[in-house]
Copies of this chain bind each other. A is one copy, B any other.
Amino acid sequence: MDLKILWPGKTRDPALRTLQSEYLDKIARLGKCRVIETREARGVSEKDPGRILDIEAAGLEKHLQGEHLVCLTDRGDMMTSRQFAGFLEKTSLGQPYPITFAVGGFLGLADRLLKRAGTRMSLSKMTFSHELTRIVLLEQIYRALSILKGLHYAK
């Protein structure tokens, strides 16, 4: 399994950053997964959300090739953890590129990225902060790889 995760900027909350490293370490034992922190729209007024989304989309697009893109969005489909594991297994078959996840900043992702996505995915009906979303995604990737390897990973 070869996975790539893109999100704008570093995770700022220190505890969430610690969790991020912990999950990436656990995931590394089961598969290949790297996080790329793309360009953040710093110093742009929040009154201009279109511009923030545009700058961040350009930063994310730099790292896209012909891969299967999974965009995380409130308007995406929900899966159970087992369905997500099955999705990763199926989607990675015969792929020359890693499956690539894009997680937006505090405004989410630009429409043009959502349109480009092979899969639009939602982690919950609830809205999570964008930094917590990163952690929940990593936990689900770890859980999915554990399921695929037949490992016991408790609730």
Contact = CB atoms under 8 A, between A and B. Distances in A.
Given A106-B154, A132-B136, A136-B132, A124 B123 contact: yes
Given A15-B15, A15-B19, A132-B139, A155 B127 contact: yes
A127 B136 CA distance: 10
B125 A80 contact: yes
A18 interface: yes
A124 B122 CA distance: 9
Chain copies in the assembled complex: 2
Contacts of A37: none
Contacts of A129: 139, 154-155
Interface residues of A, number: 32
Interface string A103-133: 0101110000000000000011111111010
Given A15-B18, A136-B136, A126 B124 contact: yes
A92 B92 CA distance: 48
A127 B125 CA distance: 14
Interface of A: 13-16, 18-19, 22, 78-81, 84, 104, 106-108, 123-130, 132, 135-136, 139-140, 143, 154-155
